[in-house]
Amino acid sequence: MEQGNEGREWGNVKFRARRERGVQTHSEDDAQSRFVTGLVVFLAVAIAYPWYSYWVQSRLLGYELNLAVDGLKAEVAAQDEQMRVARSQQERARRETTARDHVAAVRVMGASEGTAGPVVVVNLGQAGVGESTAQICQQARRFLGRPLHGERLRLQRYRGSQPTTDAGTVYC
């Protein structure tokens, strides 16, 4: 290599800067256009963000409200079920109390021995014959003065000053 350059004078050589391929220099116009593009993107985001934020917040609020409504529905359903159970228990207790009161109001007004078995005059009030059988047998036993186990009693309904009517039969 040294042999090819031996006779040359190196003092007058001018060097030129070489451009690398693919690298471009940017002019003032390119910087201006990038600034304008960045400014437009920034303004577009600044303008669109409030609507996007409102949309996101309304979606989140709707979701939270739906969760709250679902929780409230579950709570109301549980309370409704508790109230229904309590109401049915109260209704059952009221019916039992009413039935006991009706049976407790049953009064045997009189009893006598008959040819076909004992005849009992009874004031049933609101009670039916079937539900007050035990009460009737117990009071008729006291009137007749003897045990009535397994006997058939003919019942007559007491109506005050009017004649009695047939009320059916019961087996003690």
The pLDDT of residue 151 is 87
The pLDDT of residue 106 is 86
The pLDDT of residue 5 is 67
Query: Is the pTM of the predicted complex or chain greater than 0.95?
Result: no
The pLDDT of residue 36 is 92
Between 9 and 34, name the one with better pLDDT. 34
Half-sphere exposure in the Cβ direction for 82 (13 Å, CA): 6
Contact call for residues 153 and 136 (beta carbons, < 8 A): yes
160: left (phi over 0), alpha (psi -120 to 50) or beta: left
Contact call for residues 139 and 162 (beta carbons, < 8 A): no
